[in-house]
């Protein structure tokens, strides 16, 4: 049975679009105050208006999380504004796949920086607050949900570095789960298959065409589907820790 998030605070990264956008809105409807973090302020302002309509409080944080100082500041600003931190959803990410001989090194570096290192920076900064605020939490538990991918479970050609970052997210999440579960901080990973988001739009034209053919007969997931899975994790009673959710389109092999 799901519980209200009233009286809690959630920080969502990658909130300007896609899964992060949908998660922020969904957790707001559950009663949480929401800090939304991304680089595109115009998109954050659009989301903030929708969150405000739910009655939940919202804080816009414009930040580039590949900078560890900005990641730490995003956490600090959230705690300063709301007085606590109960939930972190690390959703920021990028997918820049393609032939390994021709893919620019800069694309690989960006995937490592955003998909893995930015997640590390935010988690590292958030942990002391999550552990502390469990003591005064109305739910007696804190949550970190990391959005990974089925690419964190199965390696495929042309996806080497994206695979590496998502395998890393999944592995780190499980290690952190073991480390902090006795302090009532739950770590969970969500591993979606194909989702209809901007993620595919960042590819080269050749890669986009390949993905269009690959998923031509697949009804992709919606970002709201992943948001619902995330809400399921964080609204469970303290005694229930959902460690991992794999969620694919029904049509995806």
Report the share of the chain in percent with pLDDT over 90: 87
The residue annotated as part of the active site, out of 21, 121, 162, 180, is 162
Is there a catalytic annotation at residue 162?
Answer: yes
Q: Which two tokens stand for residue 81?
A: 């504004």
Q: What is the mean pLDDT of residues 217-228?
A: 93
Q: What is the pLDDT of residue 218?
A: 81
Q: pLDDT tens across 172-212, in order?
A: 999 999 999 999 999 999 999 999 876 656 666 666 666 56
Q: Position of tokens 């949480």?
A: 32
Average pLDDT over residues 216-244: 95
- Say what the pTM is: 0.92
3-state secondary structure the chain: CCCCCCCCEEEEECCCCHHHHHHHHHHHHCCCEEEEEECCHHHHHHHHHHHHHHCCCEEEEECCCCCHHHHHHHHHHHHHHHCCCCEEEECCCCCCCCCCCCCCHHHHHHHHHHHHHHHHHHHHHHHHHHHHHHHHCCCCCEEEEEECCHHHCCCCCCCHHHHHHHHHHHHHHHHHHHHHHHHCEEEEEEEECCECCHHHHHCCHHHHHHHHHHCCCCCCECHHHHHHHHHHHHCCCCCCCCCEEEECCCCCC
Where residue 40 falls among pLDDT bands split at 50, 70, 90? very high
Q: Which pLDDT does position 216 carry in this prediction? A: 67
> CA–CA distance from 11 to each of 106, 171, 250 (Å)?
28, 22, 30
Q: What is the pLDDT of residues 45-92, one digit of tens each?
A: 999 999 999 999 999 999 999 999 999 999 999 999 999 999 999 999
pLDDT of residue 252: 84
Q: Which two tokens stand for residue 197?
A: 């988001």
CA 172 distance to own-chain centroid: 14
| Mean pLDDT in residue range 141-151 | 97
Mean predicted confidence (pLDDT) in 99-128? 97
CA atoms within 13 A on the CB side of 227: 22
10 Å CB burial of residue 2 (0-12, 13-18, 19+) is: exposed
CATH fit for domain 9-247, picks 3.40.50.300, 3.90.1300.10, 3.30.420.10, 3.40.50.720: 3.40.50.720
* Residue where the block lists tokens 């053919």: 213
Residue 119 bridge partners (DSSP)? none
pLDDT at 78: 98
Q: How confident is the model at residue 21 (pLDDT cuts 50, 70, 90)?
A: very high
């Amino acid at each position: 049975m799901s519980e209200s998030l009233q009286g809690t605070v959630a920080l969502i990264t990658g909130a300007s679009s896609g899964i992060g956008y949908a998660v922020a809105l969904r957790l707001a409807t559950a009663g949480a105050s929401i800090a939304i973090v991304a680089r595109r302020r115009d998109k954050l302002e659009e989301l903030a208006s929708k969150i405000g309509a739910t009655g939940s409080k919202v804080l816009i944080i414009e930040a580039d999380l590949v900078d560890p100082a900005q990641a730490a500041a995003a956490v600090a600003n959230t705690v300063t504004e709301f007085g606590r931190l109960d939930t972190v959803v690390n959703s920021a990410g990028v997918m820049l796949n393609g032939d390994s001989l021709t893919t620019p090194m800069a694309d690989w570096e960006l995937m490592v920086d955003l998909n893995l290192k930015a997640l590390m920076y935010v988690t590292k900064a958030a942990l002391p607050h999550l552990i502390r605020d469990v003591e005064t939490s109305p739910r007696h538990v804190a949550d970190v949900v990391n959005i990974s991918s089925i690419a964190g479970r199965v390696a495929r050609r042309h996806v080497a570095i994206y695979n590496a970052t998502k395998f890393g997210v999944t592995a780190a999440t499980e290690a952190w789960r073991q480390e902090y579960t006795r302090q009532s901080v739950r770590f969970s990973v969500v591993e979606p298959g194909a989702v209809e988001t901007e993620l595919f739009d960042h590819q080269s034209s050749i890669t986009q065409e390949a993905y269009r053919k690959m998923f031509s007969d697949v009804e992709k997931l919606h970002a709201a589907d992943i948001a619902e899975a995330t809400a399921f994790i964080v609204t469970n009673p303290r005694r229930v820790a959902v460690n991992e959710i794999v969620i694919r389109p029904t049509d995806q092999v």
